[in-house]
Every structure is written in C-alpha cells, then in structure tokens.
Amino acid sequence: MHPIQKWQGNFLRRRGFDYPTGRPLYTYRTTSEEFSDLETMLRDCLGTWLKTVTLGDVARNVACFPPLFVLYAAEWWRRNYDGTGFAWEPIVSAIGASADAWNPTERSECVEKGLLLRFPHREG
C-alpha cells in the first residue's frame, strides 16, 4: 500500500471507521499531529513524484491526492491564515511544490475533485 493510501486509511480508522464513510475528507478536523504527519507525507510523496511528473499529473492520477490536498489546504487555512487575503502559494509551497508550476485550471480541477469526491461505503 502506498503511503498516501495508508495515511488516509489510518486517518479514518482513528475516527472509528474501517472504510470511507461517504463524507468528504475535508469535513474532518485533524489533530496537530495528524496535520503535521499529513504535511510530511505529502511533502515526501511529492518530493519523489515531482522528479518525473508534474503536480497536475499527480492530481489527475493519484486518486487519494485531491481529497487529501483539500483536507490539507482547509486545515492549513484554518491554522495559518493571517488575514492578508487568499493565496495558494503558501499552501502549495508548504508541501514542497511550486504554485507556479501548477496552472490554475489543473489546480481548480484538483480542488473540485477533492471537494466532490465522496468515498463510498465498502460493500461487503
């Protein structure tokens, strides 16, 4: 299992769920430790992936990335917003990527996918 999938599974299990509940991940609050772990995991994964693909490629092809990016962005905003206006640069750079290398259309598609993606209950 890839670290990004493992993180998501552990995040849900800590909330008493074996499988995604159908709620968007961004509606969950993270603890300080979870937020730090999510940032580190995203930074580590992107550090590897961005050597060979673009951030847009990651957002399109790694299913767990959009909802986890939206979760991270929502938590980053909640924890770090200083009242100066919204910008993606500090959020994206905090996970080791360049906002300039991610065009607005790709970023918007990722955020939309992350906001709309609802993980279904696993049918047993």
pLDDT in tens, the chain (124 residues): 788 888 888 888 888 877 667 777 677 788 999 999 999 999 999 999 999 999 999 999 998 899 899 999 999 998 998 888 888 999 999 999 998 989 999 999 999 988 875 544 343 3
Entry pTM: 0.84
User: Cα-flanking dihedrals φ and ψ of residue 87, to 5°?
Assistant: -150, 140
pLDDT in tens, 75-108: 999 899 888 888 899 999 999 999 898 999 999 9
Residues 6+ apart with CB under 8 A from 21: 12, 119, 121
